[in-house]
Amino acid sequence: MSSRHATETARRRTFAIISHPDAGKTTMTEKLLLFGGAIQLAGTVKGRKAARHATSDWMELEKQRGISVTSSVMQFPYKGCIVNLLDTPGHEDFSEDTYRTLTAVDSALMVIDVAKGVEERTIKLMDVCRLRDTPIMTFINKLDREGREPIDLLDEVEKVLKIQCAPVTWPIGMGKRFKGVYHIHHDAVHLYSPTHGGKIQRGEVIQGLDNPRLDEVLGGQAAELREELELVMGASHSFDKEAYLAGRQTPVFFGSAINNFGVQELLDDFVENAPGPQPRATETRTVDPSEETFSGFVFKIQANMDPQHRDRIAFLRVCSGTFRKGMKIHQVRIGRDVKISDALTFMASDREHVEEAYPGDIIGLHNHGTIRIGDTFTQGEQLSFTGIPNFAPELFRRAHLRDPLKMKQLQKGLQQLCEEGATQLFRPLVSNDLILGAVGVLQFDVVAHRLKAEYNVDASFENVNVQTARWVSCDDGRKFEQFRDKVAANLAVDHGGDLVYIAPTRVNLQMAQEKWPEVRFHATREHG
């Protein structure tokens, strides 16, 4: 491989933050961008959120519910590395999006609230990371507040999440008594002073645990710290890079994200130890990032990211080779070559045009309805990346249009929003209904809000007599035609044009399956 490709690949760090809502993911994202020099003052991420609130009811919904349903990609340089941070939505109903985003990262950062410890959503996300043994670093946040004993927290992480903890920093007190952290690997104390205005904080650093300056500054807390550390060192694991990279051990950092404290220690360690781009499995072989030819897969699609542009973006993770502006790439599923002259990059949260992208990078492709989640792009090789999860819809509602003249707009809106993968559109063969399938009930509210905000369509979703759906296929063309004629009343096409059996009851589905043994019924749309 060319040395430029090798160097550029080696310095990529692509990761996502996993946490329970409110633990501090947004704050952490903002501070990481601050340390990455991507923004001058903290508050920009929030500011961006606020600016969007003004333009979109969908964001209004997000604000009302106190959840983050948007998801984006941010790239920033740090100490010679190029860091790609993939944001994930926090609310449970959007978990499919989160799961898919986790297939596109090489490691994760887990943020835990010191007062709350391991929470339900963290457990679920950790399960997802474990599917691929994703390496995880842990940041225990909000040490400026009273919380649980750090030792108990590590114990809880080990027991509940079943991963070894290796503390890298250790907190000195908490709440009002929070004085800073001791860096175990550097044998140095980083002192804390709360800051305002969002500047990068450079507190005093005292080298050596035995340094008398420590007693001067910390008084009685210095002796406490030494005692506690002795206990901690005896009872916990020391950092083992191999165990971390295998997903068996998590290095742990303490701090206060909102005060920019402890974040730099984490980031320094992250760029040093977190894995670069990893090999990825396809149906036929494993693709190594060192390969010269380009390949990548789409893990996410988002409509109307920028309300002013009304565009739809497919997010592609580069797995091998170099992507260059104007390059022709091959969309494997439909066997089509496309020239990409206007791919997007996400440097510092502003959208810019990509000149070059390397393994680990995410590029945004304009989607005109032909790209699906899970699609593989190559330079001609027939590859198909695996492991991008698909979800079977469990809830179904019929779209009800308040203004019948807006039918075209409704169809277009539903079609485009369904490309994102969180909801799926079904059009029955025998009626003009538009049926939406989703995994979580909140998604219907979000779609209704977005239809209004982004397509100016007033629609609501009402109950419909559908309990479950199965994508159908059959090797015997004649049989399939018979099947289509006989059960037409139960058939629909989805937004990708595939045929789906929609069943009013599970019993009905079972009977159809027994009656048509030649027809295959699949729970999700991507079934090879």
Residue of 1, 10, 21, 124 that binds ligand GDP (CB under 6 A): 21
Name every residue whose Cβ is closer than 8 Å to that of residue 314 and which is 6 or more positions away in sequence.
298, 300, 301, 364, 365, 366, 367, 371, 375
Is there binding between residue 23 and ligand GDP (CB under 6 A)? yes
Residue 98 corresponds to which tokens in the numbers above? Answer: 């989160």
CA–CA distance, 244 with 195 (Å, rounded to integer): 32
Sort 339 into a burial class: Cβ within 10 Å, 0-12 / 13-18 / 19+. Answer: exposed
Residue 245 corresponds to which tokens in the numbers above? Answer: 């990279």
Is there binding between residue 183 and ligand GDP (CB under 6 A)? no
Residue 319 corresponds to which tokens in the numbers above? Answer: 């797995």
Contact mark string toward ligand GDP, 253..292, x via CB under 6 A: ---xxxx---------------------------------
Pick out residues in 26-45 that bind ligand GDP (CB under 6 A). Answer: 26-27
Residue of 141, 264, 295, 376 that binds ligand GDP (CB under 6 A): 141
CA–CA distance, 457 with 411 (Å, rounded to integer): 10
Residue 34 corresponds to which tokens in the numbers above? Answer: 């601050």
Pick out residues in 78-107 that bind ligand GDP (CB under 6 A). Answer: 90
Question: How many C-beta atoms surround the C-beta of residue 3 within 10 A?
Answer: 7
Of 15 and 471, nearer to ligand GDP (C-beta) is 15
Contact mark string toward ligand GDP, 350..389, x via CB under 6 A: ----------------------------------------
User: Considering CB under 6 A, how many residues would be counted as binding ligand GDP?
Assistant: 17
Is there binding between residue 464 and ligand GDP (CB under 6 A)? no
Of 19 and 264, nearer to ligand GDP (C-beta) is 19
Options 21-29, 99-107, 270-278, 507-515: segment touching ligand GDP (CB under 6 A):
21-29
CA–CA distance, 198 with 228 (Å, rounded to integer): 31
CB of 62 to ligand GDP, least distance (A): 11
CB contact at 8 A, 468 and 506? yes
Element (H or E) spanning 119, and its range?
Answer: none
Is there binding between residue 140 and ligand GDP (CB under 6 A)? no
Q: Where are the alpha helices (DSSP H) in 36-73?
A: 44-55, 57-65
Residue of 52, 100, 121, 142 that binds ligand GDP (CB under 6 A): 142
Is there binding between residue 61 and ligand GDP (CB under 6 A)? no
Q: Which residues bind ligand GDP (CB under 6 A)?
A: 19, 21-27, 90, 141-142, 144-145, 256-259
